[in-house]
A and B are shown apart, each in its own frame.
Chain A
Amino acid sequence: MKLAVGQIAPDFTLPATGSRTITLGQYRGQNVVLVFFPQAWTPI
């Protein structure tokens, strides 16, 4: 399923660098630039 502009971004909770756990919802009130990249060691 493809997402479209105007839809609510699906939330996620995942581990991240710096021993963090990131939940998208924690950034409510800020803009988020979510950058998907294929694999580490490729330019971001």
Chain B
Amino acid sequence: MDLFEGLNTQVLGISIDHVPCLEAWAESLGGITYPLISDFWPHGMTARQYGVLRDEGYSERAIFIIDREGIIRYIDIHDIDEQPDNDEVFSILQQIDPENAKKHPVDLEALAAQLPHGGIVMYCNTWCPGCRKARAFFEANHLDYKEVDISRNRAAAAQVRKWANGYETTPTFDIDGHILIDYDESKLREILGSRVTK
């Protein structure tokens, strides 16, 4: 979350915990640079106003991006166990504040470090036919794979361009470090070896 500094952006964390609890937590994490706000009393009132208070008395995991005029520009309420997608938040910030984004280019290398490694990773997008074939192939063989949508993740798109001579070719696979550009079933079989059963 510190990545957003420089985008004319203030990050604010908020939970229903009381301040001493938030202080202790921030300290245990080695100091969080942005404020953690206590929505403790009246209990969860702000979470309720934002429509994210759960019946259990605590909030959903949610991100609201509010522009410089105080208007909500993006809402993401995600699975309570899922981590927010930093890069997506980044893209939204750049859209709503393009001038400032130019002054502070995104540190793609820092974001690229967060891309998954190991096992089968497929860089894809929602429409590509090769990605659909690959999904069917993996599923038929009961192979686990991770997907990274390069239309939603610019660090991933940059990574694919680096591998594919400047093109955003999808699908591109990173299979335990073996890079395969585009869908090619015979090459996939070669890389996966005995893991392919069908």
Contact = CB atoms under 8 A, between A and B. Distances in A.
A-B residue pairs, 5 tightest by C-beta: A40-B25, A2-B51, A16-B35, A10-B49, A31-B9
B47 to A, nearest CB: 6
A38 B15 contact: yes
Contacts of B25: 40-41
A12 B146 CA distance: 40
B54 to A, nearest CB: 8
Contact of B59 (A29, A36, A43): A36
B179 interface: no
B15 A40 contact: yes
Given A5-B74, A20-B35, A36-B62, A30 B68 contact: yes
B19 A17 contact: yes
B13 interface: yes
B35 A17 contact: yes
Contact of B39 (A9, A14, A28, A30): A14
B97 interface: yes
A29 B89 contact: no
A36 B54 CA distance: 12
Interface in B44-66: 45-47, 49-52, 54, 58-66
A28 B70 contact: yes
Given A39-B15, A44-B1, A31 B66 contact: yes
